[in-house]
Amino acid sequence: MSAQARRARPRADATRETRNVMTVPFYRHGLDESYAEAVANVLRSPFLTSGAVSKAVEAQLCAFFDVPHAILVNSWTNGAVAALMALGVGPGDEVIVPAMTFIATANVAELVGAKPVFVDVDPATLMLTPQSVHDAVSERTRAVIPVHLYGQMCDVRALRRALGKRTDIAIIEDCAHSFESSFDGQLPGEHSDAAIFSFYATKNVTCGEGGAIICRSAELFEAIAQTRLHGMSAGAIDRFASRRYRHWDMVRLGTKANLPDLLASLLPPPIATIASGCRCARLSSDATRRRSPVRRSASSRRWPAPCTPVISSRYMFHRGCATASSRRSTNAASARRSTIARCRR
Ligand SMILES: Cc1ncc(COP(=O)(O)O)c(C=O)c1O
């Protein structure tokens, strides 16, 4: 058979698959022309980079999560690198990450010269468990990055308890999928050292590319503000905030991860409306699952168990549903290879 004929012949299994597949418009976003004015206002101002607009969004995030500190970054990935640098994580250190996540969660450990240690997730919920984290802790462990995958949430308070007296181990929540989630009333950032969000194009809250870090410690916040901006003691907006010029110095090694006002200007409406939007739902009821079209089209597949009492952001929940039956967490030895193969956006 010629190559052309082979291409034209429909594969039996492909036909069977497409009959049951629902198409989810992955890149459809909620930003429209009404946002142009906010961008135009930044263009009319003298300050394009991180300035007054960013500060206002940071204050909005502090109020949303009820935390004292928030800082905008230009991606989850760069924010996590800045946070690890601020915590002093580097060569010789280990960072515990779930074997089931997007590659960035592990990459950031490598980027600061540390070793990512892959830990199996609970196959039912796809979350890290306190026991598996406890078992993976070594003398070299300096951080754990639990991932609230597909809009659900890990029990961060329980993870903290599992670390016992190891107060030298930081918990950094990967909240790339979980802006408006909560676990038994716990919000992101409540029991961790820092929680990091992604405002990448497909996220529930987006500005195309971006992210934010929230934290409770003033000391850590100050350090992240520096590692996010070349290790400088004061960014441009702070240098010119008062009439007297404030001198700056390089006080530590830093990267470049700040978000410009041009992009930050897109964030206030999505943040203001996310909690009241219809995306936020309690997943404990079977009725919620039955209503989903994915449920109808994939009836033979097993659903990931909602980690009750979670209020999920439902970000990518369809993906967790469709793949839970075929995905199994792996043992630590093979995790690295399989994570890269499995974890695609
Ligand atoms: C779980 C998880 N962590 C981290 C990231 C990285 O986010 P960003 O693209 O903002 O760096 C993603 C991106 O999709 C993700 O899904």
Ligand 1, atom nearest to 79 Cα: 11
For residue 32, pLDDT beyond 60: yes
The DSSP secondary-structure symbol of 223 reads H
Higher pLDDT, 35 or 316: 35
Provide the domain count of the chain.
1
Q: Residue 11: inside a domain, yes or no?
A: no
Residues pairing with 70 in the sheet: 214
pLDDT at 294: 41
* pLDDT tens-digit series, residues 50-88: 999 999 999 999 999 999 999 999 999 999 999 999 999
Q: With the C-alpha atoms ordered 92, 95, 99, 105, is the resulting torsion angle positive or negative?
A: negative
Supply 120's token pair.
Answer: 């199996």
Which segments within the chain are labelled E, that is strand?
69-73, 94-98, 115-119, 141-144, 170-174, 182-183, 194-198, 211-215, 281-282, 310-312
Instruction: Please report, for residues 157, 160, 170, 190, 261, the alpha-carbon distance to residue 193 in angstroms, rounded to integers and kept in the order given.
Output: 11, 10, 6, 8, 26
Q: Residue 25: inside a domain, yes or no?
A: no
Q: Residue 13: inside a domain, yes or no?
A: no
CATH of the domain at 220: 3.40.640.10
Pocket of ligand 1 (CB under 6 A): 75-77, 101-102, 104-105, 147, 174, 176-177, 198, 200, 211, 345
Q: Using the mean position of ligand 1's atoms as its centre, give its distance from the Cα of residue 33 in Å.
A: 26
For residue 137, pLDDT beyond 60: yes
CB–CB of 151/310 below 8 Å? no
pLDDT at 156: 97
d(CA 259, CA 174): 18
pLDDT at 27: 78
Residue from 176, 225, 218, 210 nearest 193 by CA: 218
The mean pLDDT value for 275-281 works out to: 52
Q: Residue 1: inside a domain, yes or no?
A: no
Specify the DSSP element, H or E, that contains 340.
helix 332-342
Supply 175's token pair.
Answer: 């909240």
pLDDT at 332: 32
Q: Residue 2: inside a domain, yes or no?
A: no
CB–CB of 304/125 below 8 Å? yes
Domain extent, residue 198, equals 33-342
pLDDT band at 337 (very low <50, low <70, confident <90, very high): very low
pLDDT at 235: 87
Q: Using the mean position of ligand 1's atoms as its centre, give its distance from the Cα of residue 197 in Å.
A: 8
Backbone angles phi, psi at 171, to 5 degrees: -105, 120
Mention every residue, 6+ apart, whose C-beta is less than 8 A from residue 334.
none
Q: Residue 53: inside a domain, yes or no?
A: yes
Ligand 1, atom nearest to 147 Cα: 1
The mean pLDDT value for 192-209 works out to: 96
Q: Using the mean position of ligand 1's atoms as its centre, give its distance from the Cα of residue 227 in Å.
A: 19
d(CA 42, CA 263): 9
Q: Residue 194: inside a domain, yes or no?
A: yes
The mean pLDDT value for 148-174 works out to: 95
Q: Residue 18: inside a domain, yes or no?
A: no
Please choose from 200, 203, 204, 213 the residue to mutate so as to test ligand 1's pocket, defined by most ligand atoms within 8 A of CB.
200
For residue 259, pLDDT beyond 70: yes
| Predicted TM-score (pTM) of this structure | 0.82
Cα-only R_g, the chain: 21
Strand pairing of 310-312 and 281-282?
Answer: antiparallel
pLDDT band at 40 (very low <50, low <70, confident <90, very high): very high
Query: How deeply is 40 buried, as exposed, middle or buried, from its count of CB atoms within 10 A (0-12, 13-18, 19+)?
Result: exposed
Higher pLDDT, 200 or 319: 200
d(CA 72, CA 211): 6
For residue 320, pLDDT beyond 70: no
pLDDT band at 308 (very low <50, low <70, confident <90, very high): low
pLDDT at 316: 64
